[in-house]
Amino acid sequence: MKTSLPDPTPINNLIEAFRWSKTLFTAASLGIYDLLPATAGSLAQTLRLNHDALERLLDGNAGLGLLEKRGEAYHNQPVADVYLRKDSPHSLIGYILYSDRALYPMWGHLDDAVREGTDRWLQTFSTPGPIFDQFFRTEENMRTFIMGMHGLGVLSSPAVVRAFNLSRFHRLVDLGGATGHLAIAACEAYPALKGIVLDLERVIPVAREMVAQSPAKDRIACVAGDFFESDLPEGDIYALGRILHDWNEHKIELLLRRIYERLPKGGALLIAERLLEDDKSGPEKR
């Protein structure tokens, strides 16, 4: 009796996945999505690239559903226009470039990480961490990363602030709030709520720029500080959006203790993180 074999599609998809990612990463790094519509020939001349190789990259992006070819010209699909152009308010380019330049190389050393139980920053880049100090070496790198976080936050923060009824709170303090997307979403959802965005001094100008575009801008303040060392602003609800996973257990305990000691009676802490299933088998990719 012939035995049917399991569907190999999940394995085949995983084999191809790094090629798909790098196809996206390379086009993003070259700034291609910002230059379309254009022909492969004009793009190759503008970017000083090999015409045949560039055309293959563009066709690869079309195969991934990011571009389409009309005649000789390549155009962004709507998803690329919204999420892959630097001038889009929903752009994810910053996080894509961070993934390409920092995360992708480090994941190439996953086997060593498993052997040693340590991070791969020094092995990959030959310089000591912490990771944010390295990626923030220039103002352009810092803004690119922060705006990437903004793009992710614009997608998720409105749902986060609606997950619980925050109407009883008066002042939300968003610790490590980057562009303030969480505080902005909260204050727009709850008209009586005031917000404070706390982040490093270098980040605050970007936060003020984003806050200024919100209809709730008059209720949101941006404050420079380090949540491990600075006095935490007064509030009755504190928020940590995608913060805790960046630090070791000692640092996490220190930060949570500082928040606990600052909270008034009846205060709360809002933590936004990706949670594992109870058996730690997922979520798979989302």
DSSP result, the chain: -PPPPPP-HHHHHHHHHHHHHHHHHHHHHHTGGGT-SEEHHHHHHHHT--HHHHHHHHHHHHHTTSEEEETTEEEE-HHHHHHS-TTSTT--HHHHHHIIIIIHHHHTTHHHHHHH-S-SHHHHHSS---HHHHHTSSHHHHHHHHHHHHHHHHHHHHHHHHSS--TT-SEEEEET-TTTHHHHHHHHH-TT-EEEEEE-TTTHHHHHHHHTTSTTGGGEEEEE--TTTSPPPP-SEEEEES-GGGS-HHHHHHHHHHHHHHPPTT-EEEEE-PPPPTTS------
Active site residues: 245
